[in-house]
């Protein structure tokens, strides 16, 4: 099929889809083999591949509204789903245009899993959360505490619904091997403040 024929076919399919627009199917049930932290987040870069259909194969970022744009399928909600769930959702939606679509979703770049540290540290800023990371480890990644940092009153702010939950962290105690339970693992979106 040449480029002009392919373009005409896409146009016909798009027009047919516009006149008979159906609501998107609900997201598939989670796969018990996938971990909860494998979910797609805003700003992640995804590769959506539809086997033997290059027109529907795209590399797209997840927008701030949690959706991605896929040719012919318009906007598809991606944030909060696992790659497997998203591939099933796209596959269900694509059946209107493609016979027996085989869809694969690969996370090309994880941008949504990040934590922040600010205040009296050598290198404040945004740090990727690529695995289990504690408050002490984040401070080390940020180059350690600055000279006049208040070691006993470090604060972790964690977003929770429409508010923030705070946790106190006493750096001095932890490096002296006291109250180690306060050195909790960080979650995406956490901010550590060193006064």
Cα separation, 170 vs 150, in Å, equals 9
pLDDT in tens, 29-57: 544 444 545 889 999 999 999 888 888 88
What are the tens digits of pLDDT across the range 113-166?
899 999 999 999 999 988 899 999 999 999 999 999 999 999 999 988 888 999
Listed residues 109, 133, 158: the one ending a domain: 109
Question: 122 and 79 in one domain?
Answer: no
Count of structural domains within the chain: 2
The label of the residue with tokens 């929770």 reads: 160
Q: Which of these ranges, 9-18, 77-86, 158-167, has the smallest mean pLDDT?
A: 9-18
- Asked if residue 91 is part of any domain, the answer here is yes
Same structural domain, 35 and 105: yes
One domain for residues 100 and 45:
yes
What share of the chain in percent tops pLDDT 90? Answer: 60
Beta strands (DSSP E) in the chain are: 45-50, 58-61, 67-70, 74-77, 103-109, 114-119, 125-128, 154-160, 163-169, 191-194
Q: Provide the domain limits for residue 144.
A: 114-194
In a domain, 2, yes or no: no
81 domain residue, yes or no: yes
Residues 102 and 150 in one domain: no
One domain, residues 102 and 155? no
**Considering the entire predicted model, what is its pTM?**
0.63
Which one of 91, 109, 127 terminates a domain?
Answer: 109
Among 77, 109, 141, the domain boundary falls at 109
The answer to whether position 3 is within a domain reads: no
Three-state DSSP state, 138:
helix
- 148 lies in a domain? yes
Whether 21 maps to a domain, the answer reads no
Domain with residue 147: its CATH number is: 3.10.560.10
């Amino acid at each position: 099929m040449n480029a002009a024929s392919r373009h005409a076919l896409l146009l016909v399919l798009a027009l047919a889809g516009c006149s008979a627009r159906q609501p998107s199917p609900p997201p598939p049930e989670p796969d018990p083999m996938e971990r909860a932290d494998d979910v797609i987040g805003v700003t992640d870069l995804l590769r959506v591949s539809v086997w033997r259909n290059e027109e529907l194969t795209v590399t797209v970022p997840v927008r701030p509204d949690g959706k991605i744009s896929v040719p012919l399928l318009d906007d598809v909600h991606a944030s909060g789903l696992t790659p497997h769930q998203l591939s099933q959702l796209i596959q269900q939606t694509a059946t209107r245009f493609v016979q027996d679509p085989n869809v694969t979703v690969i996370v090309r770049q994880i941008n949504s899993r990040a934590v922040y540290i600010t205040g009296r540290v050598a290198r404040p800023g945004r740090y990727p959360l690529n695995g289990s990371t504690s408050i002490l480890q984040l401070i080390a990644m940020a180059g350690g505490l600055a000279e006049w940092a208040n070691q006993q009153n470090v604060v972790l702010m964690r977003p929770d619904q429409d508010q923030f939950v705070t946790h106190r962290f006493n750096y001095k105690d932890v490096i002296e091997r006291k109250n180690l339970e306060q050195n909790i693992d960080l979650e995406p979106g956490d901010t550590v403040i060193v006064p």
